[in-house]
Structure 1
Amino acid sequence: MKYSGHGNFPSLPNEVFLLGLTPGELAVYSYLRRCEDHKTHQCWPSYKAIGKAVRLSENTVRKYTLLLEERGLISTEPTEVITKAGVKRNGNLRYTLRPVQEWIEEHYNRQLEQLELNTERQRTAKLMQTQKCTV
């Protein structure tokens, strides 16, 4: 059966595979993409709902959420809910999925910075080696 492009399949940008995400990070990110409101780029599933969908514990989902945030793919904000009794409680996190171009650009900038740092280290090591030979 050929896929028609319709249905409950979240689209993932090809670039996401350049980031070296773990299977767990990829699963959580994919689920967030599935839940995302495409106008606001936000969603707010609970750790429990994400975990149930991708078959991970809530603690593991929390860990992967933090890693995705560190990588710059998502940002999170706490929300509040008011119970029927009028009591304020913590709600689910509000996830904002950052535009692909933003995090890809950051990824390439980090790679470039690392390359420049490595080049400077090699240059310094070579300079030190040269100075040792002349002493």
Structure 2
Amino acid sequence: MPVRSYDHAKRDPIKNYFPLPNEIFVLGLNAGEIAVYAYLLFCEDRVTFQCWPSCRSIGRATGMSVNTVRKYIRSLEAKGLITTEPTTITDRHGRKRNGNLLFTIRPITEAMEQYYEEQLRSQPKRPA
């Protein structure tokens, strides 16, 4: 029996994929930062641009420790790609506890502007 090739016409680009901006490859991100950023994009609500996966969930999906995930989250924040907000939950006994971070994916154009501004500031000044 002949081997059938995969029928590309059956793929649903909206359901089975998420967009990853080309610009992330200009920003000098390392593989870990790209993996965490890609996972956040995978989880995000396409209307609010927010998601709240735990660092443990991100670590499981990317093969990283929780501490490494936290390091990359701080780096993505510093590069202007995401913002984070702490959340709280109320347990069944009425006690407030820390929840997962609420991640907001920022527009890639803002991160690009920040990157270019930092590049210009780091250029040595030429004598006049």
Fold shared, TM-score > 0.5 on shorter chain: yes
Name which of 80, 87, 93 aligns with 2:95: 87
**Partner of residue 34, structure 1:** 42
Q: 1:8 touches 1:34 (CA, 8 Å); kept in 2?
A: no
Name which of 29, 40, 47 aligns with 1:21: 29
How far apart are the structure 2 equivalents of 1:8 and 1:59?
Answer: 29
For normalisation by structure 1, the TM-score amounts to: 0.82
What value does the CA root-mean-square deviation take over the aligned residues? 1.5
**Partner of residue 49, structure 1:** 57
Name which of 77, 87, 91 aligns with 1:69: 77
Alignment: residue pair count: 120
How far apart are the structure 2 equivalents of 1:97 and 1:22?
Answer: 18
Gaps of at least 5 residues in structure 1 are 125-135
Q: Give the deviation of 1:4 after TM superposition.
A: 4.7
- Counting helix residues as a fraction of each chain, which structure ranks higher? 1
Aligned-partner SS, 2:16:
coil
Aligned-partner SS, 1:76:
strand
Q: Give the deviation of 1:100 after TM superposition.
A: 1.1
1:7 lines up with 2:11 in the alignment: no
Gaps of at least 5 residues in structure 2 are 1-5
Q: Give the deviation of 1:11 after TM superposition.
A: 1.1
Aligned-partner SS, 2:25:
helix
Aligned-partner SS, 2:40:
helix
Q: 1:51 touches 1:58 (CA, 8 Å); kept in 2?
A: yes
How far apart are the structure 1 equivalents of 2:127 and 2:12?
Answer: 54
For normalisation by structure 2, the TM-score amounts to: 0.87
Percent identity of the aligned residues?
49
Aligned-partner SS, 1:26:
helix
Letter in 2 for 1:31: Y
Q: Which ranges of 4 or more aligned residues in structure 1 deviate by more than 4 Å? A: none
Equivalences for residues 104-123 of structure 1 within 5 A: 104-115=112-123, 118=124, 120=125, 122-123=126-127
